[in-house]
Amino acid sequence: MAKINFGGVLENVVTREEFPLDKAKEVLKNDTLAVIGYGVQGPGQALNLKDNGFNVIVGQRKGSGSWQKALDDGWVEGKDLFEIEEACEKGTILLNLLSDAGQIAAWPVMKKHLTEGKALYFSHGFGITFSDQTGIIPPDNIDVILVAPKGSGTSLRRLFLQNKGINSSYAIYQDATGRAKDRVLAIGVGIGSGYLFETDFKREVYSDLTGERGVLMGAIAGIMEAQYNLLRSRGHSPSEAFNETVEELTQSLMPLVAENGMDWMYANCSTTAQRGALDWKNRFRDAVKPVFEELYDSVASGNEARITIEANRKPDYREKLAKELEEIHNSEMWTTGAQVRKLRPENK
């Protein structure tokens, strides 16, 4: 484990050079990794582990869309694809990659198969951190570990196939066997993490829920809508408003930020853009700071967890969610976006 200086703060980081794939496979050579859930993170993690040579099985509800997706991905019923309870029985490390709501529903079945010496793995600290609401309290004779890729399961798989990797956080909640650290790092390497940085379950879920509702999804979507609507109200065409709001950001500027940072992106824009961005940056930062404070407090209090759990318990939740997503899909901004994407040279 290396100590890396991030902005003047030393953090524990594990790289693939320090913990190579061969070591990871040796650590887990006698384990059966049961990936429970085949929705968002399940496919990417399961397939990456399988391709890297680990003993992996998948547990999913038979007859569901995710069961069929697993079949389409090459998992074979009765060989490495099983109903959830059978996979929990067979696995020595249960990778609980169900949705947060799914974890609550499946916990009674999963818990009875968490016998001494097994490990329970998460990619999100939600179930453990908010155990007063989820009821997920693991027995004290198993390891409880976490690896959280900083990206979607789709991106994890795509970058793996490109011989790249997404950075992941890792955490140990409970070390009953003395092997928890080796187990968690081995899985982190096995799923294709770029590097692994240390956290704990609470910090992971607090940062994750804040990020999803903030910069990663909620805030960026809201800011895009605000700017697009403003440009349209001032007489700009849909194409112009979309290109200035979304297309230039995602296709031109964000790749520059990813490559070398925000200052490098600024340095590679016009002096007019530089001056204006620097003049307005702090005003936007100060304007949204109270919103972020309110958001973080709502996460830390458990309020966001409560809202999520209550929403998922409603029988018409998926129907209402589909309508909300359909509204975004059918909005002028995103129908314009669909047309813009079709006109990209690579799509012609």
Q: How far is CA 167 from CA 65, 83, 152, in A?
A: 29, 31, 11
User: Is-catalytic flag, 113?
Assistant: no
User: SS3 breakdown of the chain: % helix, strand, coil, rounded to 5?
Assistant: 55, 15, 25
Query: Closest Cα partner for 150 from 41, 260, 304?
Result: 41
Between CA 202 and CA 191 the distance in angstroms is: 22
Look up residue 58 and give its amino acid. V
What is the three-class DSSP state of 336? helix
CA 213 centroid distance within chain: 13
Give the whole-angstrom CA distance, residue 143 versus residue 150: 23
End-to-end CA distance of the chain: 47
Which residue among 113, 124, 236, 329 is the active-site one? 124
The number of beta carbons lying within 10 Å of the beta carbon of residue 12 is 13
In whole angstroms, give the CA distance from residue 253 to residue 243.
Answer: 12
Rg from Cα positions in the chain: 22
Other CB atoms within a 10 A radius of the CB of residue 108 amount to 9
Which residue type sits at 14?
Answer: V
Task: Tokens 């016009």: give the residue.
Answer: 270
The SS3 of residue 148 is: strand
Strands laid side by side in the 81-82 sheet: 2-6, 9-15, 193-198, 166-174, 143-149, 119-122, 93-96, 33-36, 56-59, 81-82
**Number of neighbouring beta carbons within 10 Å of residue 280:** 10
Tokens encoding 8: 């003047």
DSSP state, residue 120:
E
Catalogue the active-site residues: 124
